[in-house]
Amino acid sequence: MTQAWPAVSYDRWAPTCDTLHAHTQVLGKLAIALSPPEPELQHGALRLTARGWETAPLPAPDGSGALVVALDLRSHEAVAEHSDGHAERVPLTPDRPVADVTREVLAAVARLGGAVRINPAPQEVPWDVPLDEDYEHARYDPGHVRDYFAAATQAALVLAAFRAPFRGRSTPVNAWWGSFDLAVALFSGAPVDPPGTDFIMRNSGDAEQFIVGWWPGDTRHQGAAFFAYAYPKPAGYEDAALSPAAAHWDENIGEFILDWDDVRAAPDPHAAALEFARSAFRHSCEICQWRPGLLASTEGSPPPVR
């Protein structure tokens, strides 16, 4: 079982992780540029599929149909596909700079469905070199990518299982290219005032919500982990004992955390991660005073299918 839940530690694969993260931003920028806007910026979210990170079908700029752009983490290529069946592939190895991949992906999209302009500035990362000028991030180790993809796939299955029975508004399992995480959001139905006036805050933070997700670690937290939090965060929110017992509040990150290594060590890693999501949601519903029926639905009452 543990082979399907490989070790993932940011300090072991940081150069490759940052390169892959930058590549996902190209996909996200295309989604933002081409998709019709949705609440909570859902039009900019990507998906983790059986081949890797992938956009939803995007309107071709020339009106000829739909485009999908993906990072195939099995063949280690960026893939641009048109709904008419034409496709182009851009290799990610051996160690190709982000700038080269970015330019080739945009050129492939232009040939398939018309030219598109993106904002090449990276977002939510500690570097600021535009994607189409980034020659610093080039390391791409296929072995590390395979381990990441195997871990991310297991995490996505946990998040999908948690979300499935919920009878309120929710998101799919989103792959977020800014924070390089997978996450599900469940909504209470109540609006809230956004925490700021910038574009992301005023559009993503205008509804009461619970977020649970997974990410492969970063400079703040070297190991991969599941995370959970409620927004807005009420007073005393962090003062809770969740299950499994290894779950804890991380003051630096401001979220409940269940470390990936603790999940891997459990007799049933999927069940342990799912219990963390449910435990965090129970706590959030109680302290945030969500309608009881929303909590009950995540635990199968009423069942999703009858």
Sign of CA dihedral 56, 60, 65, 68: negative
Mean pLDDT in residue range 98-120: 98
pLDDT tens by residue, 26-62: 999 999 999 999 999 999 999 999 999 999 999 999 9
φ and ψ of 211, to 5 deg: -120, 130
Can you tell me the distance from the alpha carbon of 198 to that of 174, in angstroms, rounded to the nearest whole number? Answer: 22
Residue 184 CB-density burial (10 A; 0-12 exposed, 13-18 middle, 19+ buried): buried
Mean pLDDT in residue range 238-245: 97
Q: Strands, E, within 195-291: which ranges?
A: 207-215, 225-231, 248-250, 255-259
pLDDT at position 2, please?
Answer: 47
pLDDT tens by residue, 199-228: 888 888 899 999 999 999 999 999 999 999
pLDDT at position 168, please?
Answer: 96
**Number of Cα atoms under 13 Å in the Cβ half of residue 166:** 26
Nearest-CA neighbor of 82 among 61, 99, 51? 61
189's tokens: 């139905």
pLDDT at position 231, please?
Answer: 96
Can you tell me the distance from the alpha carbon of 21 to that of 67, in angstroms, rounded to the nearest whole number? Answer: 21
In the predicted structure, residue 247 carries a pLDDT above the cut 70: yes
